[in-house]
Amino acid sequence: MHQSTATKPRSAESHVATEPGYRSADERRADGKALRDVVSRQTQGQWAPSKERRDPVDLLNESNVGRQPELVPIRYGRMMASPFVFYRGSACIMASDLATTPVSGISVQVCGDAHLSNFGGFATPERRVIFDINDFDETLPGPWEWDLKRLVASVVLAASRKRHWTRHRGNRPFLSRAHGQLCRHAGT
């Protein structure tokens, strides 16, 4: 998957200090804020299908290569249970769509399939419970925005399934608020 040249931001490297060694939290925060000139928060919340968008059914069929053929119908049957379950089983579709969106240039080791069901509580040696990702079979280096967008979309789907989501509100305001809240909590 490649990023569309129409939406590709300028190199983030020109906006981040290149001094070797330790960067303080304030320096890293300033670097992150400077990246908003490359890709704004508002731009992060926008998506439209590209003219070259791959057929989602073709993507799903390609994702079955290497799977045991007799299990593919079972997989599809499970995916038909609800929009959320379909979403869980179709990370390749969103990955293809996100590959054409603008990114800030910050690459991390992404989960690759960040959704509510891939998070859980774990006990630490200090007898504390932490909340973290519990599924790493799709992990790869990629833009941090991809995991955040996939996770927030899963919250929308799960909430709509639980009837906490009303259609008259629409999802754009929610996604904007959620992104803003996450950025505030991250201190950016």
The tens place of each residue's pLDDT in the chain, 188 residues long, gives 434 333 443 344 444 445 567 889 999 899 888 988 888 888 888 888 989 999 999 999 999 999 999 999 999 999 999 888 899 899 999 999 999 899 988 888 988 888 888 888 889 999 999 988 888 877 889 999 999 999 988 888 888 766 655 554 555 555 555 545 445 544 44
Cα within 13 Å of Cα(188), Cβ side: 15
For the chain, strand residue ranges (E) read 107-110, 119-123, 129-133, 140-143
Tokens of 79: 């995916």
Model pTM score:
0.69
Measured distance CA(16)–CA(30) in Å, rounded? 9
With beta carbons less than 8 A apart as the criterion, state whether 93 and 61 touch: no
DSSP 8-state assignment for residue 48: -
Provide the 10 A C-beta neighbour count for residue 87. Answer: 22
Neighbouring residues of 18: CB distance < 8 A, sequence distance ≥ 6? none
Nearest by Cα to 45 from 180, 168, 166: 180
Which phi and psi (to 5°) does residue 55 adopt? -65, 125
Q: Domain boundaries in the chain?
A: 39-186
Neighbouring residues of 98: CB distance < 8 A, sequence distance ≥ 6? 143, 145, 146, 149, 150
With beta carbons less than 8 A apart as the criterion, state whether 29 and 37 touch: no
